[in-house]
Amino acid sequence: MERITNARKSGKHKHLSERDRYLLEGYLESRLSVREIAQKLKSHISTIYREIKRGRVKRINSQLEEYWAYRANAAQCSYAEKVTKRRHLLKIEKHKELANYIQKKITEERCSPDVIIGRIKQEGRKFEGSICTKTLYNYIGKGVFKGVINADLWEKCKRRRRKYRHFRRVGLKNTRARSIEDRPNKANKRLEYGHWEGDCVEGPKKTKAGLLTLTERKAREQIIVKIARTTQEAVREALDDLEDKYGSSFKAKFKTVTFDNGREFLDWESLESSIDDGKRRTTVYFAHPYSAWERGTNENQNRMIRRFIPKGTDISRVSDADIEKIQEWMNNYPRKILGYRTPNELALDLTNNRARVLI
């Protein structure tokens, strides 16, 4: 004899639909047994009993006598109310190790959600569960992580589309200098390591100290030098100190540097001259006036510096040790554009490859 099963063919743990409830009401009025109803609805007999109990309401007949009957609309309302109040356990709550890792990365290491997820994949870290970047942003928006909200994410609420205006495209302050239009193709298309963008970050108007920031275009490596004044002499001395630090490798490391048209960079000939023999140590180019997007890599890096040194901060009060920590953090921060590698990792790889080629 074939065994009769009351389980739904569509799978386990399937709830009755609103249509099923109205069918159930009709079957009960037709005096079918609960077992027969379960077979017709392809549900377990216990499910039908519970459903009948859920939808029982008190009615009055024509003789003004009270009786209990099943009503589909009452059962559906009761079901919808309980589903609304039900709290579903979030995926991240089932995987505490992953949640603690993400919490630490955001609060202590100041990583963005995308960097966290991308770095997990890049490093091959194994957790019991996994989530995507979009899901992580949704969790932060819902306040799932203690002490982490959207306002704590540097980029989430601050990005806006900039409206560009047209200005004169010829710099009149240094007409003899090299224009960015003459910069080699290897620098423009980031084909090799050693092409930099530079700028100065200044403090309030009544203060003199500032920062000379240099950003390598391909690896996004960052160099930050504190200078007493944002003058031509201070910038030249900062480059002299870098040449003294890197020695014979300075020319290979700094093939070109692209500045804006600030007054501190107008003495470009002295910036190019080596302190050892007076020969050219690097080649300086200038972006067009009011065209910060031509040095967009450096401008974005300066925005990252402002996370640690907000506008209005007297830079003279920022210690060299703190500046070194900022530089180290930036050079060890994974970037999506680098395949979630850090600037230090990519720069080391690029310089090692170049060294192997020379050998």
Q: What is the pLDDT of residue 358?
A: 40
Q: What is the pLDDT of residue 146?
A: 82
Under the banding of pLDDT at 50, 70 and 90, the label for residue 216 is very high
**264 and 235 in contact (C-beta within 8 Å)?**
yes
Under the banding of pLDDT at 50, 70 and 90, the label for residue 93 is confident
172: phi then psi, degrees, rounded to nearest 5: -90, -10
pLDDT at residue 121 is higher than 50? yes
Q: Given CA atoms 136, 139, 144, 147 in this order, what sign does their dihedral have? A: positive
Q: What is the pLDDT of residue 241?
A: 96
**How far is the C-alpha of 128 from the C-alpha of 99, rounded, in Å?**
11
Under the banding of pLDDT at 50, 70 and 90, the label for residue 45 is very high
> What's the one-letter identity of residue 99?
A
165: phi then psi, degrees, rounded to nearest 5: -115, 160
Find the helix packing angle between 320-331 and 343-358, rounded to 10°: 70
**How far is the C-alpha of 42 from the C-alpha of 20, rounded, in Å?**
10
Bridge partner list, 56: 70
Rounded mean pLDDT of 283-306? 94
Whole-model pTM: value is 0.73
Span 153-200, pLDDT tens digits: 877 666 666 665 555 565 556 778 899 999 999 999 999 999 999 999
pLDDT at residue 2 is higher than 70? no
Percent of the chain with pLDDT over 70: 88
284: phi then psi, degrees, rounded to nearest 5: -100, 135
> Could you identify the residue written with the tokens 């899901």?
135
Average pLDDT of the chain is 87
Span 307-351, pLDDT tens digits: 999 999 999 999 999 999 999 999 999 999 999 999 999 999 998
Burial of 353 (0-12, 13-18, 19+ CB in 10 A): exposed
pLDDT at residue 286 is higher than 80? yes
Q: What is the pLDDT of residue 150?
A: 83
**How far is the C-alpha of 140 from the C-alpha of 143, rounded, in Å?**
5
CB atoms within 10 A of CB 329: 15
The fold of 180-358 is Nucleotidyltransferase; domain 5 (3.30.420)
**How far is the C-alpha of 239 from the C-alpha of 253, rounded, in Å?**
12
**Domain residue limits, the chain:** 18-85, 91-152, 180-358
**Residue of 215, 237, 231, 239 lying closest to 300 (CA atoms):** 215
